[in-house]
Structure 1
Amino acid sequence: MREPLVVAHRGASAALPEHTLAAYELALREGADGLECDVRLTRDGHLVCVHDRTVDRTSDGSGVVSESTLAELREFNYGTPDVPAELLTLDTLVELALSWTERPVKLFVETKHPVRFGSLVESKVLAALARFGISTPASAAHARAVVMSFSAAAVWRVRRSAPLLPTVLLGESARYLGGSAATTVGATAVGPSVKTLREHPDTVDKAAAAGRATYCWTVDDRADVELCRELGVGWVATNHPGRTKNWLAS
């Protein structure tokens, strides 16, 4: 069994402001195997990397992402007072991941639901990946992008439109992930929280028996990293990619 591969959750977000270019660049330098981001649509149809419905928590401004234009959202600072940062678009993050030459890096894109734009979010994500030539990989193993969601309907939309693209059905219930939902939507992996994994360690074996990988979030404690290694988790999302890589190497 190989070690779990390490995904930088919103970048190296324990060290630098989440979803900023600097946080992702640091994660790459620290050896991250994958980069995770959340995406939302602006009012004028741009995909931006923002977790919350609003930018209030992560910027010096205020406003609902879906009610604002990209230009309006770019007026705010998403970094620190000393080191300002611009709002990150999905296109810029894809460019960063694909330009990294030291090793292949996967991009894990999470679509948020419910949102006012509904299925348009997945359509826009797939169109963006297609522009970069990574929406139709030869196999899941060679994919440079993965689309994830807590919404089973969103995962189904991706599988239906891009059947070769890997998908992760996220959830906090082992019953939900191990039941008919993942099978019905054709998810290629399940994504339990680390709390769910602690309570239901058989989730990994059940997923493997159904031909699915396991992506676990958000794994920041050493004991949880070791648990994921022992259980055979494929991917661990962490706010500390460098530290997690070092733990797995020891």
Structure 2
Amino acid sequence: MTRTRLVVLILSSLALPVPVAPAALASGVLPVVVGHRGAPGHRPEHTLGSYELAFRQGVSWVDVDLVPTADGHLVARHENEIGGTTDVARRPEFRSRRTTKVVDGVELTGWFTEDFTLEELKTLRTVERIPKLRPDNTIYNGRWPIVTYQEVLDLTVRLGRELNRTLGTYPEVKHSTYFSSIGNPVEPKLVELLERNGLNRVDAPVVIQSFEVANLRRLSEQVLVPLLQLTSSDGAPADFAATGDVRTYADLVTPAGLAEIAEYAAYLGPDKNQVIPRDPDGNLASPAALVHDAHEAGLLVIPYTFRNENSFLPVEFRSSADPAAWGSIFSEESVFLATGIDGLFADQPDTALLAVTGS
């Protein structure tokens, strides 16, 4: 039995929305919608408010980016640099923590989770990351603290009981090579959390993601839950760059590269521009062969990220010159769904669910 078919059978048994390659599934199965960082089109990302809203809007899965603290906890932040997503810059007691680091080859200046204990991070309050595009979200600035992955798991259990359905997470291991290089790796902490919560089992509602490759290969031997290989429309995995491997993400999405991914992962999570590229004017071009090739390799395809704001939409689907205004997201999502993708990551899960269900 292939890893993909096993994933399908397991999720079906849980009554969870199952992302499935069209040729392999019974009729009536809909593509899955993953709340990308919760529902950040409506609430500041990676907060309990954002995750809870996503679940209440109807999704059964949320994406949770994980970075470590100085004392070994995993917290939900898109990046370990938290100057733009918390009030740390306005906290005089942490002024001396501001520093410059090189993370995956990029020089960053700010405040980093690995330099704070969890107790210290819990004194901070979260804020909207892109206030110019999402000004309405700023009314929630300061409402929620930084949340741990354990707290997100606790939320899925509590809300699952209330909503009478199984809820799950897509934890993403961030910057694996970097955190390992400083002696604070994410993966052992994640495996320990899964074990502690009884989630290291084949039927657990968990899908582990990473933009790197070597860590997923190692995890495939340590966990029973499915894995998702993330790819980008440019660049290369950080672990490749660190070891002198000259392959890029473009190489990973060739038929040969996809066959290798299928050895350890059940899912492919490409940048949506790898599914349908844009032309020089910013309009959608013809679909690439990626969805077909990934399905041939036995992989389920869940691209990222669908967002309603004009700033993120192809030119032909923008409603105006206002980057923050919402454009024709249903049109964009319908074009992508027609390629046969098995799901999608969305910042506004409610509209993505409408696009998938058609009602």
The percent identity for this pair of structures is 27
Question: What residue identity is the alignment partner of 1:39?
Answer: L
Per-residue CA deviations over 1:196-235 (Å, capped at 9, x if unaligned) read: 1113532122111111111210023323321332122222
Distance 1:188 1:58, change over 3 A: same
1:241 maps to 349
Q: Distance in 1 between matches of 2:292 and 2:212?
A: 23
2:180 maps to 117
Q: Distance in 2 between matches of 1:96 and 1:224?
A: 31
* Alignment of 1:183 onto 2:260: yes
Distance 1:201 1:4, change over 3 A: farther
Matches of residues 62-73 of structure 1 in structure 2 within 5 Å?
A: 62=89, 63-73=111-121
| 8 A contact 1:48–1:90 mirrored in 2 | yes
Q: Distance in 1 between matches of 2:207 and 2:220?
A: 11
| 8 A contact 1:10–1:23 mirrored in 2 | yes
Helix, strand or coil for the counterpart of 2:170?
strand
* Alignment of 1:90 onto 2:149: yes
2:35 maps to 8
Question: What residue identity is the alignment partner of 2:330?
Answer: R
2:125 maps to 77
Helix, strand or coil for the counterpart of 2:85?
coil
| 8 A contact 2:35–2:346 mirrored in 1 | yes
Count of aligned pairs: 245
* Alignment of 1:196 onto 2:223: no
2:221 maps to 160
Q: Distance in 1 between matches of 2:154 and 2:333?
A: 29
Q: Distance in 2 between matches of 1:55 and 1:169?
A: 25
Question: What residue identity is the alignment partner of 2:180?
Answer: F
Following TM superposition, by how much is the alpha carbon of 1:159 offset from its aligned partner in structure 2, in angstroms?
0.4
Question: What residue identity is the alignment partner of 1:212?
Answer: L
Q: Distance in 1 between matches of 2:46 and 2:179?
A: 22
Alignment partner for residue 105 of structure 1, among 167, 170, 176? 167
Helix, strand or coil for the counterpart of 1:78?
coil
Question: What residue identity is the alignment partner of 2:357?
Answer: A
Question: What residue identity is the alignment partner of 1:195?
Answer: N
Per-residue CA deviations over 1:62-121 (Å, capped at 9, x if unaligned) read: 421111111111111114576511111000101112331332222101111142335831
The normalised TM-score by structure 1 is 0.90
5+ unaligned residues in a row in structure 1: which ranges?
none
Question: What residue identity is the alignment partner of 1:14?
Answer: G
Distance 1:197 1:110, change over 3 A: same
Distance 1:3 1:45, change over 3 A: same
Per-residue CA deviations over 1:101-146 (Å, capped at 9, x if unaligned) read: 3322221011111423358311111110111111112xxxx43001
Distance 1:10 1:182, change over 3 A: farther
Following TM superposition, by how much is the alpha carbon of 1:182 offset from its aligned partner in structure 2, in angstroms?
6.1
Q: Distance in 1 between matches of 2:258 and 2:356?
A: 32
Helix, strand or coil for the counterpart of 1:71?
helix
Q: Distance in 2 between matches of 1:32 and 1:93?
A: 15
Considering fraction of residues, name the structure with more strand. Answer: 1
Question: What residue identity is the alignment partner of 1:168?
Answer: L
Helix, strand or coil for the counterpart of 1:183?
helix
Q: Distance in 2 between matches of 1:134 and 1:177?
A: 30
2:64 maps to 37
Question: What residue identity is the alignment partner of 2:260?
Answer: T
Helix, strand or coil for the counterpart of 1:145?
coil
* Alignment of 1:169 onto 2:229: yes
Moved more, 231-240 or 168-177: 168-177
Q: Distance in 2 between matches of 1:177 and 1:135?
A: 28
* Alignment of 1:135 onto 2:200: yes
The normalised TM-score by structure 2 is 0.64
| 8 A contact 1:42–1:65 mirrored in 2 | yes
| 8 A contact 1:143–1:166 mirrored in 2 | no
